[in-house]
Amino acid sequence: MSIGEATSEQTPDSTRMRWRRSGGAALVVRGLHRAVYPLLGVAVLLALWWYGGHLIASDPATESFAGFGPGPTFASLADLIRSGQLWGIAYPSLHRIGLGLLWATVLGVPIGVSIGYFRVAQETTHIPFQFLRMISPLAWMPIAVLAFASWDGAIVFLIIVAAIWPIIFSTAHGVKRIDPLWFRVARNLGAGGGQMLRRIILPAIGQDVFAGIRLAVGVAWIVLVPAEYLGVTSGLGYAINDARDTLAYNDLAAIVVVIGVLGYALDRICLFLIQHFSWRVEL
Amino acid sequence: MSGFLSLDRMGIVFETRNGPYRALQDVDLRIAQGEFVTVIGHSGCGKSTVLNIVAGLLRATEGGVLLENREVNSPGPERAVVFQNHSLLPWLTVYDNVRLAVDKVFRKTKSKIERDEWTRHNLRLVQMNNAADKRPSEISGGMKQRVGIARALAMEPKVLLMDEPFGALDALTRAHLQDALMTIHADLGNTVIMITHDVDEAVLLSDRIVMMTNGPAATVGKVLSVSLARPRKRLSLADDTEYNRCRADVMKFLYRQTETDDPRAA
Ligand SMILES: Nc1ncnc2c1ncn2[C@@H]1O[C@H](COP(=O)(O)OP(=O)(O)OP(=O)(O)O)[C@@H](O)[C@H]1O
Ligand SMILES: [Mg+2]
């Protein structure tokens, strides 16, 4: 019995992939997509920025805002990094967003699993959750300020309010997508509820949970900066306000760059986790 | 006298949106240890339902199942199921899919090293040891089915339940797997219930063929003993009179079921 050799058993993908990878032309095309086009995009953005800065600097009416140009901005950014100030500014923000996302995940995943698994939970929560989801997190600000003794607490609360919805809905969607056959496989092995959760549900929804967290990071990062305009005396939002008040436009622009770069980095981390926890559906 | 595995006047009624639907009635069957039984019948007659009741995944509404004189009322690894397809967990490798079952069944009785060896042994049985680290999405349908069989065998089940395990495969792969299954059955002596749509497959593999009538209230219509010596060779069977008699018997039964189904033929 040598069934391993049957020709019909070969995975068709492997040969096709090898074919596509070969050839110099293909390499060039892949190089273009990997590096050249993204760099081109960044270059265009920098060029527009530089031109805008140039216009501002050369007009006497707006001259005092010349700090917004890329030159002064990157000089200021280098200063911030060299003096170690940057970490002091970014750390409180990262701490708040980390704490908020952690809580949103800790609360959102179990809620999402329940909604995906139990129809009753889905039907009961649908209207209230859709209603609450539509309220801008910033609209909760006055309530948050009243309810929490510290500004930090209020900001973390706002991040949770912003971040929890995508996590809940993405998790629930992931659970609903689970093939019922996998539950039967697990039951055939004699698995109980706890093992079902650990062996089937959680691994099956990993990619959906992180996709939800990725969306949540996007929203939370946007909410964070305006939330830090109030009360607190640390963080990126505070630093922007502070730079504006001291007319340090180069610092202000440097912080904006930092916000963009950190947001991009957080997004990439989430993307990595999604890919790490994803599995391809069988054909 | 009850036999190793017995289905006793088993029936089931499903509650559907259009009221109760009686799928099975008075399904009666005795299966001896080591016997290979196939179940054949028209689509929708209730074959999978029978299998799921034996597996404990469904509860019969009347009658029941006895395995070694004990009533079956919940799923368990001593009645391992090989599902039709897509039953491998896609986030686990081939090895881990089998290992999951091995860990579940032998956690208390085998050491870690023994469980690893047992997993690999079962992958070797179905010739999948070389693909142990692949994911289900990276292997063919035939390979997936073999892993499903390895997973079921690794549980050392008293009864192996197979629901059209080769239904979705091309003829060549299917023939290879049938041969592999016959070899394994000869070596290990498992008791097997296998559902199939394929008359040749039923005759080739079975000690007995259970033919089911059409639903609603489907039941065992006829049981045919296949007295062909083992090991069976598919090529020499083509001209075998017993083989062709069995084949014709099953065909006739299925054809008659189609006729009674057709109102014009009544
Ligand atoms: N959970 C259920 N609820 C209601 N009706 C069901 C349920 N499961 C099966 N049935 C019905 O019972 C009958 C038998 O179904 P079953 O899946 O056992 O058929 P089958 O013989 O395996 O068919 P096939 O050869 O197509 O797989 C069908 O009419 C089906 O619609
Ligand atoms: Mg079926």
Q: Which of A53-57, A122-126, B157-161 has the lowest mean pLDDT?
A: A53-57
pLDDT of res. A21: 52
pLDDT of res. A4: 41
Ligand 1 pocket residue status of B136, Cβ below 6 Å:
no
pLDDT of res. A12: 47
Q: What is the mean pLDDT of chain A?
A: 87
The arithmetic mean of pLDDT across residues A100-109, rounded, is 97
Closest partner residue to A3 (CB to CB) among B90, B100, B177 is B177
pLDDT of res. B262: 57
What percent of chain B has pLDDT above 90? 76
Query: Would the pLDDT of A240 be above 50?
Result: yes
Query: Would the pLDDT of A121 be above 90?
Result: yes
CA B39, CA B54: separation in Å to the nearest integer?
13
Count A/B contacts: CB-CB distance under 8 Å.
98
Closest partner residue to A280 (CB to CB) among B80, B137, B177 is B137
Global pTM reads 0.80
pLDDT of res. B111: 95
pLDDT-derived band at A190 (thresholds 50, 70, 90) equals: confident
Overall residue count recorded for chain B in this entry: 266
Contacts of A199 in chain B (CB under 8 A): 100
Residue whose CA is at the smallest distance from ligand 1 atom 17? B48
For residue B102, give the nearest of B150, B154, B153 by alpha carbon: B154
Residue B172: Cβ-neighbour burial (10 angstroms; 0-12, 13-18, 19+): middle
CA A193, CA B188: separation in Å to the nearest integer?
33
Query: Would the pLDDT of A235 be above 80?
Result: yes
pLDDT of res. B50: 96
Q: What is the mean pLDDT of chain B?
A: 91
CA B135, CA B148: separation in Å to the nearest integer?
13
Q: Give the pLDDT confidence of A125-184 residue by residue, as tens digits.
A: 999 999 999 998 889 988 998 999 899 999 999 999 999 999 999 999 999 999 999 999
Q: Give the pLDDT confidence of B193-206 residue by residue, as tens digits.
A: 999 999 999 999 99
Q: Give the pLDDT confidence of A4-57 residue by residue, as tens digits.
A: 444 444 444 444 445 555 567 888 888 878 888 889 999 999 999 999 999 988
Q: What share of chain B is helix, strand, coil (3-state, %, to 5)?
A: 40, 25, 35
pLDDT of res. A195: 87
Mutate to test the pocket of ligand 1, among B21, B195, B212, B220 (most ligand atoms within 8 A of CB): B21
Contacts of B92 in chain A (CB under 8 A): 203
Contacts of B88 in chain A (CB under 8 A): 282
CATH fourth-level superfamily of B1-75+164-266: P-loop containing nucleotide triphosphate hydrolases (3.40.50.300)
3-state secondary structure of A59: coil
Q: Where are the domains positioned within chain A?
A: 3-58, 67-282
Q: Give the pLDDT confidence of B48-94 residue by residue, as tens digits.
A: 999 999 999 999 999 999 999 999 989 999 999 998 877 899 999 99
For residues B170 and B205, is the Cβ–Cβ distance under 8 A? no
pLDDT of res. A280: 66
Chain B interface disruption, residue of A9, A196, A283, most B CBs within 10 A: A9
For residues A182 and A203, is the Cβ–Cβ distance under 8 A? no
Nearest residue on chain B to A6, alpha-carbon basis: B173
Please count the helices (runs of H) and the strands (runs of E) in chain A. 13, 0
The arithmetic mean of pLDDT across residues A203-230, rounded, is 92
Closest partner residue to B138 (CB to CB) among A3, A11, A200 is A11
Report the interhelical angle of B94-106 vs B141-154 (nearest 10°): 20
pLDDT of res. A167: 97
CA B170, CA B153: separation in Å to the nearest integer?
23
A6 close contact with B: CB closer than 8 A: yes
Mutate to test the pocket of ligand 1, among B10, B15, B48 (most ligand atoms within 8 A of CB): B48
B22 close contact with A: CB closer than 8 A: no
Q: Give the pLDDT confidence of B219-262 residue by residue, as tens digits.
A: 999 999 999 988 999 888 889 999 999 999 999 999 998 877 65
pLDDT of res. A10: 45
Amino acid at A148: F
pLDDT-derived band at A283 (thresholds 50, 70, 90) equals: very low
Report the largest interatomic distance among the alpha carbons of chain B, rounded to a whole angstrom: 64
pLDDT of res. A192: 84
pLDDT of res. A22: 58
Q: Where are the domains positioned within chain B?
A: 1-75+164-266, 79-156
The arithmetic mean of pLDDT across residues A218-244, rounded, is 90
CA B233, CA B182: separation in Å to the nearest integer?
10
Looking at 3.60.15.10, 1.20.1070.10, 1.10.3720.10, 3.40.50.300, the CATH number of the domain A67-282 comes to 1.10.3720.10
Whole-complex ipTM: 0.84
Overall residue count recorded for chain A in this entry: 283
The arithmetic mean of pLDDT across residues B21-45, rounded, is 95
